[in-house]
Amino acid sequence: MSANTYDYAISGGTEGKSRLNILASILHPYTQALLEQMGVQQGATFLDSGCGGGNVAIMAAKMVGNTGSVTAIDFDPEIIRLAEIDKMQENLGNLSFHVKSSYDIDYSNVFDFSYARFLLSHLKNPLEALLRMKDAVKPGGRVIVEDVHFSGHFCYPYHDSFAHYLELYTTVVSRRGGNAELGPELPGLFRQAGIREVGFDVIQPCFDRGEGKWMGYITLARIRDAVLEAKLADTQELDRLLLQLEEYTSRPDTILSLPRIFRVWGIKE
C-alpha cells in the first residue's frame, strides 16, 4: 500500500504479511484469470503499485517469465523486506522490489501493464496515484485496478458484531483520508484520468468454512491500533467485539463474504 505509514489503517509487519498471504491465496485464481484476460504473458513488463506482501508481483513475475520483468513498490520497508524473502525462495531474478510511495512513481512510458490491488481506497488522492500509474505505461499499455466497495461485505445470518466491524473499518479508513466505498467510483476515476476503453467487473467470494471465512475477524484484529488511536472504541470494547465476531465466525451455520471487489481496466492513449 502507499502514501505513508500513518495513512494506512491496517497494521503491517509479520502479522500484516500473514493477513496479506491469506487474502492473496483466496484471490489468486481470480487475479491470475484477470491478468491473463488483460494479456499479461511471457515477455511483458509489469508495475505493481502498492504491492503489499508481493503476492501479485510474484504471480506476475512467473507469468512474464525470464524475458519479461516486474517492478513492485510499497511504502512499507518491513513489508518489502518480507516480500524479498519470498522472492528469494521463489528464485525470481526478473522481479525487483522498491520502497516507494505510489505518489512518487516517476516512471514514464516504461511498462506494458500498471496494476494496483487494494491501494487506491486507502489514499487521500487516488486520482493522483492513478495518473502516475497511467504515466508509467507505454502508449497502448493497460492500467488495471482491483479495489473494494466495503459496504458490500456481508454475513448471514445478520449479526451485530459484523455490522460493528464494518462501521469501524469504514470510519477508520475515512479518518485517515481513504474511502472504503471507492469501488463503484473507479470507472469514473479512470475516465477522469484520461484512460480509454474502460471496462470493469465485480467479484465477491463467500465462505461457510476455511480461511476466507475468517478475513473479517483477521482484518478487525489488524485495524485494532488504528481504532484505538482514533478513539472509536476502547480496549475492552474491542476485545469484546473480537470475541463476539470469533464466536459468530466459528458457527457452522454462518456465511461470510469478502468485501465486494470492483476490477477496472483501461488503455493509455
| Residue whose C-alpha is closest to residue 98's, from 75, 73, 123 | 73
HSE-CB for 247 with a 13 A CA cutoff = 9
Using an 8 Å Cβ cutoff, are 71 and 111 in contact?
Answer: yes
Query: Among the listed ranges 2-11, 157-166, 217-226, 230-239, which one has the minimum average pLDDT value?
Result: 2-11
DSSP state of 151: G
Q: What are phi and psi of 139, to 5 degrees?
A: -55, 130
Q: What is the mean pLDDT of residues 66-86?
A: 95
Q: What stretch of H or E contains 60?
A: helix 55-64
When pLDDT is cut at 50, 70 and 90, the band that residue 38 belongs to is very high
Across the range 176-186, mean pLDDT stands at 97
Residue 12 confidence class, pLDDT cut points 50, 70, 90: low
User: Which pLDDT tens digit goes with each residue over 231-266?
Assistant: 999 999 999 999 999 999 999 999 999 999 999 999
Identify any residues that bridge with 45 across adjacent strands, giving them in sequence order: 69
Residue 5 — very low, low, confident or very high, per pLDDT cuts 50/70/90?
A: very low
Is the confidence at residue 1, as pLDDT, over 80?
no
Q: Using one digit for the tens of pLDDT, what is the confidence trace for 91-102?
A: 999 999 999 999
Closest C-alpha to 168, from 121, 221, 215, 123: 221
Cα angle value 30/35/37 (rounded, 5°): 95
Mean pLDDT for 145-156 is: 97
Whether pLDDT at 200 is above 50: yes
Q: What is the CA radius of gyration of the chain?
A: 18
pLDDT for the residue numbered 2: 39
Q: In the predicted model, what is the mean pLDDT of residues 162-176? A: 97
Please check the confidence at residue 55 and state whether its pLDDT lies above 70: yes
